[in-house]
Chains A and B, each alone.
Chain A
Amino acid sequence: MLDPVSPVSTTIRDLFMLVFGVIGIIFVVTEGALVWSMIRFRSKGNETTEPPQIYGSNPIELAWTVIPILIVLVLFLVTTRTIYSLDLQEPPEGALRVKATGHQWWWEFEYEDLGITTAGELHVPKGVPVFVELRSFDVIHSFWVPRLAGKIDAIPNRENHLWFQADKVGTWYGQCAEFCGTQHAKMLIRVISEDEDDFDSWVANQQLDAVEIPEALSGKDTFLSLACVNCHNIDGVMLQGGFAPNLTHLMSRETIASGAAENTPENLKKWLRDPNSIKDGCLMPNMMLSEEQIDLLVGYLTTLK
């Protein structure tokens, strides 16, 4: 949070500095008075009379009521001003619109204007405002990438949103921040901000239908013959799923299982052997596949660039 790369998180960081300064002064004064009195007024063990009994003091009590009220007023004004300055009900001009839907336990990202559906990793162009509409497929989730923005919850039946703008190229880590069940801990987010050219070529690739390679045909047939198709979509091949991540460009992602593991053939095989080995309790059932089926499927999946 203290190393922001977006105007939103920078505003929050700057606000934090001010608030921390105010709180810091209060801390030093209060704890200082406490420590001072602990030392200065320690009993020497040999007193014969009680110390002077002070019942109160109107001026002092007035002071330490009024001064905190003034501090509260300042904090309130600063807070309110920042809330309104960050509030954006509509996407700004030229913004990229993305719809982020929380599922138990992965994030789905749809760029409706661009016709792209992907999962787990959000690509954005550098320096362009991104307006994220937050939805939930099931329970309450929360979208949080600290270096880019604060978090806002994704609540079923409710249309929340947040916005950010990545001012640098890089990969920014985040994760779901509202307890949503067994694998809340591994519902991760990666935001990858790229130069405009790189982003455009990513978009162009994502807009294509799935790659068709003759060598992977038996793998593809295996996929189509199994229940995978009931949950997973592959554009241009089979679109009766939607409950699980879209696999069309699976190999364009750095991770699988919404960030739970690196996207490697070994991990893909591990996942297919038993998803619970990577994400214990996840909603993908163990499909009880044979090693041969797993090899064929992974052979196919690794062609989906």
Chain B
Amino acid sequence: MTTKQHIPLSGKLHEWITTVDHKKLGIMYILCGIFYLLIAGCEALMMRWQLAIPNNDILAPETFNAFFTMHGTTMIFLVGMPILLGAANYFVPLMIGARDMAFPRLNAFGFWLFFFGALLLYFSFLGGQGLTGEEGAPDNGWFAYAPLTSKTFSPGSATDYWIIALFVSGMGSIMTAINLVTTILTMRCKGMTMMKMPIFAWMMLVDAGLILIALPTLAAIQIMLLLDRQYGAHFFDAQAGADPVIWQHLFWFFGHPEVYILILPAFAFISEVTPVFSRKVLFGYPLMVVATVSIGFIALGVWAHHMFTTGLSPAVLSYFAGATFLIGVPTGMKIFNWIATLWGGQIRYETPMLFAIGFIAMFTIGGLTGIMLAVVPMDWQLSDTYFVVGHFHFVLFGGLLFAIFSGFYYWFPKVTGKLLNETIGKWQFWLLFVGFVLTFGPMHFSGFEGMPRRIYTFMPNRGLEMYNMLSSIGAGVQAIGFVLFVYNIIHSLLKGKPAGDDPWDAWTLEWSTTSPPPPWNYAKTPVVASRRPLWDLKHPGDPDWEYE
């Protein structure tokens, strides 16, 4: 029995600030992500309060515009990316039997770039007044279209904050991606060929590949915009003959892969949770791999479906519609694979599974509304309306966020050694589910009725009142769910039941080590023969490798 050494707080702080351990970095990423999730949630609450009734005056137009910009920017770059890359950081080495990532110091550097980039973005609320006293936080939408973001139309510093903060944290994401690709391709344990690694690792590999391709494009156009704004360049200056649509082409060349960068880790979480809680192997692993890689490739070729209203030629429109429809095929394959995994199983409805099923149900809807938007003439009506806001919240909230909660409840015991409280978890799920549907379901209808997005108020007597009121009520319901989530974390850290190594009776390598894992992960590098090493150990008479 070792006696616990008393380490002073300053020592612990020093340990965490200087760490290069993938697990500690993963935890820090996720904690930051949760912190910004709460902030972005408050921004959303304020917007829904403003939009509960027409011609409301809770928020001034500029404030509302800053809130929707910051809400979107925060959710994507400061919540989605860190939580997903943090989870990848923590679990990829464990799942492939490695001791750490390939480049631990690069890992730490990437985290701190993200950390300070995020602070810079939020500093804009205080410091963005600039010399002209204009603007504070970025307020031109998270996609910052030119020419609205040129110096002429955005004279303050708000857009400069957007550029620099995201450039810096984007560098951090690229570094993590380099680490992930290298680790997955070069540090697998004995027996773990590419087709024997957990599906989680495949999804993260494709994800990291997309980051390597998409983020540099964003960096390039951010530099161009900064040069325009501060050094008199003309990249997006219509007066000098430039084409503002070029911003859109390049931004969406980044932006569309970005949404797949966000959702692939969600697919990873669901693909790990669903089998364990239906007590069945993941159905169709080889085609899941093919589907994942296909999604990665096709994702690079659909960007202009965000630009159907910019006056593109019919041939170009048709191509992008077709490519977008096509990406529905591998995505559908995955959904069917998950349902087939459930089929014939013994489904346990603990919280991770509730969120996973919620994911499958909601993401399917979001995917289908996406197909509707790909029908170009329909997009001419529905683009830039609340229908789109409904669509992307179904895939990003009902999809990504539910998957994050699923993964969180699943892996929290491994990371902390304590189980999260099931009762609170179920309350959280139902409150979030009901609130989510209440908020984002009606948006599809207000889009049909003519409500564009990014408006700080809407006109009365256009048939929009009921939908907006329902959305705002839903936001209140969700808020309680989020509060319960935070409460559950704190409560369980203090008083949670000890989890043990393998509370869910799962099958991948991370469950073979202690909860939390020792700093070196594995005293002896594991040797595997199948995709579910622990199934083989638990069922020596009927191991997986006889069937794979």
Contact = CB atoms under 8 A, between A and B. Distances in A.
A64 B333 contact: yes
Interface stretch (A67-75, A91-99, A209-217, A240-248): A67-75
A38 B371 contact: no
Contacts of B325: 72, 75-76, 79
B457 interface: yes
Interface in A28-74: 30-31, 33-34, 37-38, 41-44, 47, 50-57, 60-61, 64-65, 68-69, 72
Given A52-B344, A139-B147, A155-B311, A65 B333 contact: yes
A280 B283 contact: no
Contacts of A267: none
Contacts of B286: 56
Interface stretch (A109-117, A181-189, A198-206, A229-237): A181-189
Contacts of A239: none
Given A41-B346, A140-B244, A55 B454 contact: no
A86 to B, nearest CB: 6
Contact of B450 (A34, A153, A174): A174
A249 to B, nearest CB: 24
Contact of B321 (A57, A68, A79): A79
A12 B372 CA distance: 12
A138 B245 CA distance: 14
Contact of A55 (B243, B318, B361, B547): B547
Given A12-B381, A23-B372, A157-B238, A37 B346 contact: no
Nearest to A4: B381
A41 B342 contact: yes
Interface string B92-121: 000000000000000000000000000000
Given A23-B368, A43-B279, A185-B61, A142 B377 contact: no
Contacts of B145: 139-140, 178-179
A144 B448 CA distance: 12
A284 interface: no
B513 interface: no
B332 interface: yes
Given A41-B347, A156-B238, A173-B450, A53 B280 contact: yes
Contacts of B379: 150
Interface stretch (A14-22, A123-131, A218-226, A296-304): A14-22
B365 A79 contact: no
B506 interface: no
B537 interface: no
B141 A179 contact: yes
A215 B148 CA distance: 44
Interface string B229-260: 00000000010011111000000000000000
B529 interface: no
A11 interface: yes
Contact of B348 (A43, A175, A182, A188): A43
Contacts of A84: 314
A80 interface: yes
Of A2, A31, A38, A259, chain B has the most CB atoms within 10 Å of the CB of A38
B439 interface: no
A207 B378 CA distance: 37
Interface in B277-326: 278-281, 283-287, 309-311, 314, 317-318, 321-322, 325-326
B384 interface: yes
Nearest to A80: B318
B360 A34 contact: yes
A53 B368 CA distance: 30
Interface magnitude class on chain A: 35 or more
A181 B278 CA distance: 50
B309 A150 contact: yes
Contact of A11 (B345, B377, B448): B377
A179 B365 contact: no
A14 B28 CA distance: 51
Given A68-B329, A181-B153, A140 B147 contact: yes
Contact of B153 (A2, A57, A138, A150): A138
Contacts of A265: none
Contacts of A175: 450, 452, 455, 459
Contacts of A20: 372
A180 B385 CA distance: 14
A191 B484 CA distance: 49
Of B140, B332, B381, B452, chain A has the most CB atoms within 10 Å of the CB of B381
Contacts of B450: 1, 144, 146, 173-175
A83 B316 CA distance: 11
Given A27-B368, A54-B283, A65-B329, A80 B321 contact: yes
Given A69-B329, A181-B148, A281-B62, 10 more contacts: A1-B448, A41-B278, A41-B346, A51-B344, A53-B544, A68-B328, A157-B238, A158-B243, A175-B452, A175-B455
Interface of A: 1-2, 9, 11-12, 15-16, 19-20, 23, 26-27, 30-31, 33-34, 37-38, 41-44, 47, 50-57, 60-61, 64-65, 68-69, 72, 75-76, 78-80, 82-84, 86-87, 104, 134, 138-140, 142, 144, 146, 149-153, 155-158, 160-161, 173-186, 188, 259, 280-281
Cβ-closest 10 pairs across A and B = A150-B380, A185-B455, A160-B311, A156-B238, A43-B346, A157-B238, A179-B454, A56-B284, A72-B325, A177-B452
21 contacts: A1-B448, A2-B448, A15-B377, A38-B342, A47-B279, A51-B345, A54-B281, A61-B333, A72-B325, A82-B377, A146-B449, A146-B450, A151-B309, A151-B380, A152-B309, A156-B238, A160-B310, A173-B459, A175-B452, A179-B148, A185-B455
